[in-house]
Amino acid sequence: MQYLTIRHVLDPMHCEKNLCENIIKTIWGLKDNLKVRLDLEEANIRPELHAVPGGASRTLLIPRAPYILSEAEKAVFTNIIRGLKTPSNYVGQLSKRITEDGQLQGMKSHDYHILMQQILPLCLRTLLPKDVRIAIIRICRVFARLCVKSVEPSSMTELFNETAVIMYM
């Protein structure tokens, strides 16, 4: 009988890529729209983010969420990535992956792996509010501990509990 390792069951690097893509889209504000805000209101959570009526034309205004970077913060974020000096073949030239409008596109799984574990905590350490920043940095650390060559089976329970606490944050 063949025993399965964690890599056979779940590839953490691809999960890390998907999560990193979603974190980037969220802090860029690409996943924030009126439908999302109405869903928050329907679920009766985060009342400070609910859409509010504004003006006589019956439009709804969406308050700025604390987890979305402003234009100046996006510029700082992209300037940090553009200014990174990395060893040859370490990460696929992230500075060339930044488009005109500041989006990160055309990255491979390994690029997201390095971005999630090392660059994202560096870029966000002063840009977001403390509670949002700490949650993102902690999830980056969980993936750093999970994406090693061998994972101690006794530490898996600790990682799952840590992940649950982070998701609550």
pLDDT in tens, the chain (169 residues): 444 454 544 566 778 888 888 999 999 988 888 898 889 899 998 889 888 887 666 788 888 888 999 999 998 988 888 888 877 777 767 777 887 777 888 888 888 888 888 889 888 888 889 999 999 999 888 888 887 777 777 777 887 888 888 887 7
pLDDT value, residue 161:
82
pLDDT value, residue 72:
92
Which tokens hold the place of 18?
Answer: 């998907």
**What is the overall mean pLDDT for the chain?**
82
Domain extent listing, the chain = 6-29+65-168
Rg (CA), the chain: 19
Please list, residue by residue across 71-83, b when 16 or more beta carbons sit within 10 angstroms of its beta carbon and e when fewer do.
Answer: eebbeebbebbee
123 in Cβ contact with 114 (< 8 Å): no
pLDDT value, residue 10:
58
Tell me the C-alpha distance between 85 and 140, whole Å. 21
pLDDT value, residue 43:
92
Residue among 50, 100, 48, 59 at smallest CA distance from 78:
100
Q: Give the HSE-up count for residue 99: Cα atoms under 13 Å, Cβ half-sphere.
A: 6
pLDDT value, residue 3:
46
